[in-house]
Structure 1
Amino acid sequence: MIETTDPRDDAVKKGLDEGVIDPTEDKSLVRRIDLHVLPWICITYALSLIDRTNIAAAKIVGMEADLNLTGNQFNVALLVFFITYLVTEIPSNIVIKAVGTQSYLTVLITSWGAIAMCFGFVKTYGQLLALRVLLGFFEGGFNPACIYLISCWYKRYEVQQRLAIWFVFGSVVSGFTGVISYGLSLMEGQGGLRGWSWIFIIPGAITVAVAIPIFFFVAEFPEKAKWLTVEERVMIQRRLAGDQGEDVEGKGTMKSFLEAALDWKVYVISLILMLPTATTYALSFFSPSILASFGFSVALSQVLTTPPYIFGAFVSILTGIMADRVRLRFPFIIGYSILHMAGLATISWGGSQGARYTGMFLAIAGSNCAIPSALAFLANNVVGTHKRQFAVPIQTIFGGIGGIIGSLMFREADYPGYRPGIYASFGCMAANTTLAGGLALYFWMGNRQADRTGKVLEGVPGFRYTV
């Protein structure tokens, strides 16, 4: 609990503990939280996506030829990023709790921004691989930190729309990577560098510049946030304890780790994240190449990657708000999976160039929307901030594995149809539908038994699974 020394603060705390939080004050507090928590992590998430995926744009404007990449070397360069990315995810939320949000995120963001700039100066395949490994190391701790931070500030049914805003903002901005990259590639010869070099240098420099205000403005955890009054801290503690079943303060223990590590449901929901993540990365890395296979020029292929991500943003935010209001997750996850599969079918068998491009809208929207829904599915069904401190990185590790799978789905040998990649993506989302439906049935049966017999779920009286 929060310790106070002023008797007036103790009186405030006692009144909040015994009373009901005023709805108007609660809404005002949530708006303040939104303004302090979301903007900076949204901006930096967008930059992280640009810095890890702009290699796809650089590939088709000369990098592949200049570095003499052959066979599956490009796929390997994509893959090695995720090796170190996975390694840093588990300790991330332990470190961020120990050193604080501001210091931790500033170091991560500055480091990967500087590394991203270095890509513009690579001369060999070996240098490219080394930088991808380093980039993965520093980006790996960022996503679980952001997801955990959001889950520590909001109630269970406020989480998905915030995760959707965070994820979609990043996806939309990174969706402009094609347009931005095309513009930067026109700097060919500036400073004695190739156009593709500037595709890395400029975004990397922007990332480093943004890291500086992060140290001063990004929100700490509720118990450490200096911009909150004592009354507001207690209000947050009360609203979260009543919703999540645990005090928001303290540190995770080995018991918390084992509870997360031995909970089979954590792994099923992690798979529900891994599968759409694989398809999302596959499309992110290969959208320009897929569009070029439709017959579009290189320049137009870069530009046309953006509209599907904008469409996906509207779908994700709209359905995220709906999902929080109706307090359901699985129908949306299944719906997104079906949307993605319909898009894949249209890409492969749509016939005309326009129809196949429409398929890109459906496929990208379906896979991108499924990710924040899967993140919220876990956050809603893992009780207590300490268990969630370990459950979130377990889930994001599976997301990283999805990135490895996605980097291998589409191969140059399969150009122009990319049929094996299409079939693999279809299989991922079909499996996702089965997993989400099966787990939802298990949760529904558990809730029904608890309602009928009074059985206590997850050790917390009154807790019900979010289906």
Structure 2
Amino acid sequence: MSAKTSSEETGEETAHVSNYLPKLDLSLIPILGCTYTILFLDRTNIANARIEGLEKGLHMPANGYATCLWIFFIPFVLIEIPSNMIMSLPRIRPNVFLGINMIILGIISTCQGLTKSYGGLLALRFLMGIFEATLPAGAAYLISEYYTRKEAPLRFAMFFTFGILGPCISGLLAYGIRNMNGIQGKEGWRWIFILEGIFTIAISFLVFFLVPDFPERTKVLSGAEKAHLLEKLRRDKGDQKLSIRSVNWVKTLGDYKIWFPTLMFFCCDMTAASMSAFIPTILTELGWKAARAQYMSIPIWLTGIVAQLFSCWVSGKVGWRFPFVLMGIMIAMVGWIIQIVYSETHAVSPGVRYFSLFAMSGGSFIQMAMTTSWMTNNLRGRASVAVGTAMILGLGNCANFVASNVFIKKEAPYYPTGFRTGLGLTMAGAVVCMTFVGLLWMHNKKLDKKRRDGTGRVDDQVEYRYQY
């Protein structure tokens, strides 16, 4: 009788999950994913504007473009942790917090197309770093609050997929907008900023209306569904409620379960950030120009989407993370090695280099979603998750700054400095990954010994087994 009752309860639970998981996915992923698309659009539109005459139009100095890039990352890195902590406060609603930040970001982005001076552009880039920092970290944080450790990898893959759509469409948008050169007396590069800024403002209104609250206050689910979700999350991750006064900030900020995934994310993001620096060169060598070159870059990014979604789906089924991270590293290394052989011998055909971009895209994007979900899987408590998601998407994205400085224009099309740096950081990611696995294994081994001796507790908020 008890077996039958247990089976019935399991079947009832499964029915609940199958009912409201799709509802959660539709309520969270598309709108929060759009905030990540905006991040990449705003990050790449300055490169498109440069091609259309930004530097000449604002009489920028020789190092002016590089300065515009790095000045963005100063507030971007510093703001993300306090931003996520503010969003965690009981009286703060995620839709209002993210919506206000996005609408301000859209206004600032639009103003880049209206500024008359280089100094004005620098000020606007700094302000963009402040308000853009709140969006991807806040979105990833909110996603992590709704899903169990088994469910999280695929949802993070969906989220990062929206980011990959940014470079997919950015070049084509810029190619179309360039035809507006001269309209209302404005150069084409100004329209790139203006129209994409207006697009950001439009999305911000959807954020206000569509982004749900935290699980305990959500209105997306019915009362019974919400109760079931909260109980399921409690069993899987413990008590996630935040009490700022009780947080040990020194321990939280120094947690190796946050720092190691952040370093891994940095290493893999170097590949994604670098690709935009030499994709145009390779496509030009293949004889493709303008619209066709932009079109032929789309399959490269789509490969990243497919590899990311499939690997995270399998990972969620088997319950492992690190084998997929290592697989992504190995695949990306193949791409980097091809580029280095070309750099040193000049004997690699453009077709082989084109293939290498597929390896780099697939390998790097497998790592991004997997590393983020792996980190959140091993954190307990809302404070740790808030800090972790902020750090991994803040410090981790600083690879864009490195990529912008190691791909030296005068070294084109061989880029020896950039290719060697990329391969070195990719290999460093493998070392960090294996070290992290070793630390998690040692923790679990000690915990198992304590439990065999009768001194260890069952998994709770403080003492629990870590996932590999």
TM-score (norm 2): 0.89
2:209 matched to 1:216? yes
Structure 1 gaps, min length 5: 1-17
Quote the Cα distance in structure 2 between the aligned partners of 1:335 and 1:70.
43
Give 1:130 deviation, angstroms.
Answer: 1.7
Q: 2:256 aligns with which of 260, 264, 275?
A: 264
Quote the Cα distance in structure 1 between the aligned partners of 2:316 and 2:213.
25
Q: Structure 1, residues 414-466: CA drift from partner, whole Å, max 9, x if none? A: 22211101111111110001110121133234334434542459865883211
Question: Counterpart of 1:226 in 2: which secondary structure?
Answer: coil
Quote the Cα distance in structure 1 between the aligned partners of 2:299 and 2:104.
31
Give 1:111 deviation, angstroms.
Answer: 1.0
Give 1:386 deviation, angstroms.
Answer: 3.1
Q: 1:148 aligns with which of 138, 141, 146?
A: 141
Residue 174 (structure 1) aligns with: 167
Identity of aligned residues (%): 29
Quote the Cα distance in structure 1 between the aligned partners of 2:441 and 2:117.
55
Which residue type is aligned with residue 430 of structure 1? Answer: M
Whether contact under 8 Å (1:57, 1:288) holds in the other structure is no
Whether contact under 8 Å (2:39, 2:136) holds in the other structure is no
Whether contact under 8 Å (1:69, 1:125) holds in the other structure is yes
Give 1:80 deviation, angstroms.
Answer: 1.0
Whether contact under 8 Å (2:247, 2:383) holds in the other structure is no
Q: Structure 1, residues 179-220: CA drift from partner, whole Å, max 9, x if none? A: 121111122222222222222222211110111122111111
Pick which of 134-143 and 53-62 moved more.
53-62
CA gap of 1:122–1:164, structure 2 versus 1, over 3 A, is same
Give 1:31 deviation, angstroms.
Answer: 1.5
Which residue type is aligned with residue 378 of structure 1? Answer: M
Quote the Cα distance in structure 2 between the aligned partners of 1:69 and 1:323.
48
Residue 342 (structure 1) aligns with: 334
2:362 matched to 1:370? no
Which residue type is aligned with residue 62 of structure 1? Answer: G
Residue 85 (structure 1) aligns with: 76
**1:440-459 counterparts in 2 under 5 A?**
440-454=437-451, 455=456
Quote the Cα distance in structure 1 between the aligned partners of 2:370 and 2:392.
13
**1:424-435 counterparts in 2 under 5 A?**
424-435=421-432
Question: Counterpart of 1:227 in 2: which secondary structure?
Answer: coil
**1:20-59 counterparts in 2 under 5 A?**
22-59=13-50
Give 1:101 deviation, angstroms.
Answer: 0.5
Whether contact under 8 Å (2:157, 2:369) holds in the other structure is yes
Question: Counterpart of 1:186 in 2: which secondary structure?
Answer: helix
Q: How many residues align?
A: 449
Pick which of 389-398 and 443-452 moved more.
443-452
Quote the Cα distance in structure 1 between the aligned partners of 2:158 and 2:257.
25
Whether contact under 8 Å (1:316, 1:369) holds in the other structure is yes
Q: 1:383 aligns with which of 362, 380, 383?
A: 380
Quote the Cα distance in structure 2 between the aligned partners of 1:288 and 1:262.
40
Give 1:352 deviation, angstroms.
Answer: 1.8
Whether contact under 8 Å (2:237, 2:461) holds in the other structure is no
Whether contact under 8 Å (2:340, 2:420) holds in the other structure is no
Quote the Cα distance in structure 1 between the aligned partners of 2:211 and 2:140.
14
Give 1:290 deviation, angstroms.
Answer: 5.9
Which residue type is aligned with residue 409 of structure 1? Answer: V
Whether contact under 8 Å (1:178, 1:305) holds in the other structure is no
Pick which of 283-292 and 156-165 moved more.
283-292
Give 1:326 deviation, angstroms.
Answer: 1.2
CA gap of 1:289–1:139, structure 2 versus 1, over 3 A, is farther
Question: Counterpart of 1:305 in 2: which secondary structure?
Answer: helix
Whether contact under 8 Å (2:28, 2:212) holds in the other structure is yes
TM-score (norm 1): 0.89
Which residue type is aligned with residue 101 of structure 2? Answer: L
Give 1:137 deviation, angstroms.
Answer: 0.8
Quote the Cα distance in structure 2 between the aligned partners of 1:100 and 1:251.
17
Structure 2 gaps, min length 5: 1-8, 343-347
CA gap of 1:60–1:189, structure 2 versus 1, over 3 A, is same
Give 1:258 deviation, angstroms.
Answer: 3.3
Give 1:226 deviation, angstroms.
Answer: 2.2
Question: Counterpart of 1:311 in 2: which secondary structure?
Answer: helix
Whether contact under 8 Å (2:136, 2:393) holds in the other structure is yes
Quote the Cα distance in structure 2 between the aligned partners of 1:37 and 1:167.
13
Quote the Cα distance in structure 1 between the aligned partners of 2:209 and 2:37.
19
Residue 240 (structure 1) aligns with: 233
